[in-house]
């Protein structure tokens, strides 16, 4: 029986690795979890999931690979380190600080689609100490596992609002008054789901909106919210790109990279008309969304988790002797040790 470990640091990591866990279990292998912040995250572990609470338990478990929906991983954990990403590239930062930052932790990068594969392949050639395989993203698998039945009756449109946590990029506070007004005025259903790191006072304000057609949902699985919504309202959040894979329109406020695939507005007063336009699903917009989705994630078969496992197993079989040694990475390694209060000297 092969053993694998998930190293999760944020709430959004659960929905990324659970499809991978399902694929592991279905082939008769084993998986366990290690949480960087168990005080905050342990309550989201489900019955039947194996939680390892100490470094000692991880070392005794001896995983073949550690799957990481994040940026860092303890170098002292057994197993090859595999990056599966916590989101799509949103261009919030420069390449050197953002999605394409090489932090010297990983042996294998499992990329989501051509938009990220090609840059990472160039980086792999440049650095020489990791490999890149395009697999698709496990988080998106449940989006394609089953088709929701057609509604039996006419229902009001559903708007899903998401937002990033960075105050300079977030639309949450800027759009609050407009969303509250529209929730009162329009026969629309609103679902509000924010990044786990957004300021609690922002969430509290939205929860204070007194209309029954608006609900703030805090969840470790946003996929059902995508399926329920007809249109998304957002800013620079990576949830935009996930939503696109359903071929549904997105309205953004001050997106950093507006394009023909987005209905981007610069003033809150334009939100209502933009949503009304999105709900008509204009052909030119939908064609652009389809083209964009093909570039970021051209996999609609719900089998990205299986491809990740196959890529991992192939790497494990070959090992990393053909690669250069990873850089020492001393400062980042020390930071991880400090987080986990692990300072044992190897030997």
Lowest-confidence range among 35-44, 125-134, 140-149, 292-301?
140-149
Which architecture, in CATH terms, is 149-296?
Answer: 3-Layer(aba) Sandwich (3.40)
Specify the 3-state DSSP secondary structure of 26: helix
Q: Tell me, what's the pLDDT at 99?
A: 73
pLDDT band at 153 (very low <50, low <70, confident <90, very high): low
Q: Tell me, what's the pLDDT at 101?
A: 87
pLDDT band at 307 (very low <50, low <70, confident <90, very high): very high
Sheet (strand 250-253) strand order: 214-216, 189-194, 158-163, 231-234, 250-253, 263-265
Are 70 and 9 in contact by the 8 Å Cβ rule? The answer is: yes
What does the pLDDT look like over 246-300, one tens digit per residue?
A: 999 999 999 999 999 999 999 999 999 999 999 999 999 999 999 999 999 999 9
Range(s) within the chain of domains with CATH label 3.40.50.12580:
149-296
What does the pLDDT look like over 171-213, one tens digit per residue?
A: 999 999 999 999 999 999 999 999 988 999 999 999 999 999 9
pLDDT band at 151 (very low <50, low <70, confident <90, very high): low
347: pLDDT strictly greater than 70: no
Q: What is the CATH number of domain 3-142+302-340?
A: 3.40.50
- What percent of the chain is modeled with pLDDT above 90? 82
What does the pLDDT look like over 56-113, one tens digit per residue?
A: 999 999 999 999 999 999 999 999 999 999 989 866 655 555 678 898 999 999 999 9
User: Rounded to whole angstroms, how far apart are CA atoms 136 and 133?
Assistant: 9
Angle at which helix 283-296 crosses helix 114-127, to 10 degrees, equals 30
């Amino acid at each position: 029986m092969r053993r694998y470990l998930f190293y999760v640091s944020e709430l959004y990591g659960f929905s990324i690795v659970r499809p991978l866990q399902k694929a592991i279990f279905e082939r008769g292998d084993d998986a366990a979890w290690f949480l960087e912040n168990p005080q905050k995250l342990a309550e989201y572990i489900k019955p039947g999931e194996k939680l390892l609470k100490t470094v000692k338990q991880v070392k005794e478990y001896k995983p073949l690979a550690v799957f990481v929906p994040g940026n860092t991983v303890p170098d002292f954990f057994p197993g090859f380190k595999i990056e599966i990403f916590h989101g799509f590239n949103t261009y919030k930062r420069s390449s050197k600080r953002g999605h394409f930052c090489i932090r010297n932790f990983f042996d294998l990068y499992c990329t989501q689609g051509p938009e990220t594969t090609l840059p990472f392949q160039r980086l792999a050639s440049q650095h020489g100490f990791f490999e890149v395989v395009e697999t698709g993203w496990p988080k998106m698998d449940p989006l394609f596992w089953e088709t929701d039945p057609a509604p039996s009756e006419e229902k009001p449109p559903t708007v899903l609002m998401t937002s990033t946590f960075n105050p300079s990029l977030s639309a949450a506070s800027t759009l609050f008054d407009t969303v509250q007004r529209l929730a009162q005025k329009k026969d629309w259903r609103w679902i509000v789901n924010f990044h786990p790191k957004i300021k609690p006072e922002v969430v509290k304000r939205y929860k204070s909106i007194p209309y029954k057609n608006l609900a703030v949902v805090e969840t470790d699985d946003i996929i059902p919210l995508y399926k329920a919504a007809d249109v998304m309202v957002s800013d620079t959040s990576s949830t935009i790109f996930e939503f696109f894979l359903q071929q549904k329109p997105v309205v953004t406020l001050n997106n950093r990279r507006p394009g023909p695939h987005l209905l981007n507005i610069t003033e809150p007063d334009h939100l209502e008309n933009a949503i009304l336009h999105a709900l008509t699903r204009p052909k030119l917009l939908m064609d652009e969304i389809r083209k964009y989705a093909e570039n970021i994630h051209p996999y609609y078969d719900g089998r990205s988790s299986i491809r990740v496992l196959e890529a991992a197993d192939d790497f494990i079989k070959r090992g990393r002797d053909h690669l250069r040694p990873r850089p020492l990475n001393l400062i980042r390694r020390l930071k991880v040790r400090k987080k986990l209060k692990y300072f044992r000297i190897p030997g």
